Amino acid sequence: MSSPAPVRGSDNRFHLAHELALTNATDQPATIRSAETVSAAKPGQVLEKLSGPALASRFKLTGNFGPPTPSSEPVSLGPSQSGILYFDVSAPRVQDLPRELVHRISVSYPEASLSGVVPARVTETAGKVQVSSRPVTCRGPAPDR
């Protein structure tokens, strides 16, 4: 994961657009229930929470060049399958954004399929990333000469 850099959007808010790669390393299907971006310094400060249709609209299986998962279907990773989850944290002022992000991913597995090894529901904290302080180069149309 690369370090996201704050960018002022057309809504006049500062955005940290970034992605998180997820891999199901088990031999059972995994359903992603929710995903949160939180401040690494203040883990109780949830900056963005995705679940249901919002989660489905931001998830793509790797190698799948079609549209995102329809919102009526749960987000699922098959055994040994990977996907990318896209986040967009925003704040009214750049100084309101944290310097480091971390992600909490809640996943469920079929009941008792991995009994004794992995519980049916798991919440993992992963994907710690430092927010870049480098200015973003914005490109636009060449000025008239």
CA dihedral 45, 48, 51, 52 (to 10 degrees): 140
Which among 132, 75, 131, 125 is positioned nearest to 103, based on CA atoms? 125
- Assess contact for 18 and 7: CB atoms under 8 A: no
Residue 110: pLDDT band by 50, 70, 90 thresholds? confident
Question: What are the extents of the domains in the chain?
Answer: 7-130
pLDDT digits (tens, 9 = 90+) for 47-59: 999 999 999 989 9
Q: CATH top-level class for 7-130? A: mainly beta
Residue type, 62: T
> What is the value of pTM for the model shown?
0.84
